[in-house]
């Protein structure tokens, strides 16, 4: 699964890389993005601007918003089949913006080592996402999302059994503009290991309360 990531990129770089508008009054860097937080996405509903959706997909038919707490990820292999995801896959897709994600390598039943995985060139990137809108009894609307995961590439096999779908720049707009399900499904594959690098970080990352540049520091430094 993908349960934690970062997006701590300056607004100018976001605008240049993703070709969108960024409101600096609402955007702030996040070093330790966690479920239930409102985080930066580009949706097919508003493809030219940065939006902020709650992490943890709440399907429109859910009885309670807590339903989304367990839907932070969606498997690429079954996304067009599962009731919680198939409608969003067809109609409501988004790019989840990131500059790195975290995963924990299981060493033993008692020990896990946290890793940060980033692009080798240091650039921001987009992870595949789906979203939905849910309305409570008072009429409040919550837009929420899930990150799509796939099988690990050669780099990630040594760390975890899953990884987020990461798009190359040319694939990002296809994901939010295309309608052909076969073309969309073809994008949901692991990015080649050559694009990524990974390093150990301190266990500060274990707590979402630690939202500062210190969580980026290599373990032992």
Positions annotated as catalytic residues are 2, 103
Distance CA 140, CA 3 (A): 26
- Residue 80 and residue 153 in contact, taking contact as beta carbons nearer than 8 Å: no
Query: Residue 21 in 3-state DSSP?
Result: strand
Distance CA 42, CA 50 (A): 6
Question: Residues for the chain: how many in total?
Answer: 221
Q: According to the 3-state scheme, what is the secondary structure of 61-101?
A: CCCCHHHHHHCCEEEHHHCCCCCCCHHHHHHCEEEEEECEE
């Amino acid at each position: 699964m993908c349960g934690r990531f970062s997006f701590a990129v300056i607004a100018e770089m976001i605008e240049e890389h993703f070709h969108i508008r960024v409101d600096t009054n609402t955007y702030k860097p996040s070093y330790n993005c966690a479920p239930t937080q409102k985080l930066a996405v580009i949706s097919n509903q508003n493809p030219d601007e940065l939006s902020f959706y709650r992490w943890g997909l709440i399907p429109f038919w859910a009885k309670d918003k807590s339903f989304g707490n367990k839907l932070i990820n969606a498997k690429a292999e079954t996304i067009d089949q599962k009731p919680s995801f198939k409608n969003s896959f067809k109609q409501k897709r988004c790019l989840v913006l990131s500059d790195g994600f975290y995963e924990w390598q299981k060493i033993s039943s008692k020990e896990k080592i946290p890793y940060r995985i980033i692009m080798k060139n240091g650039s921001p990137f987009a992870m595949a996402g789906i979203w939905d809108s849910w309305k409570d009894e008072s009429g409040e609307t919550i837009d929420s999302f899930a990150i799509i995961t796939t099988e690990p590439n050669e780099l990630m096999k040594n760390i975890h059994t899953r990884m987020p779908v990461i798009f190359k720049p040319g694939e990002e707009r296809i994901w939010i503009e295309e309608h052909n399900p076969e073309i969309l499904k073809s994008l949901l594959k692991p990015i080649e290991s050559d694009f990524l690098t990974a390093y150990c970080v301190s266990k500060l990352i274990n707590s979402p309360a630690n939202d500062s540049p210190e969580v980026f520091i290599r373990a032992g430094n």
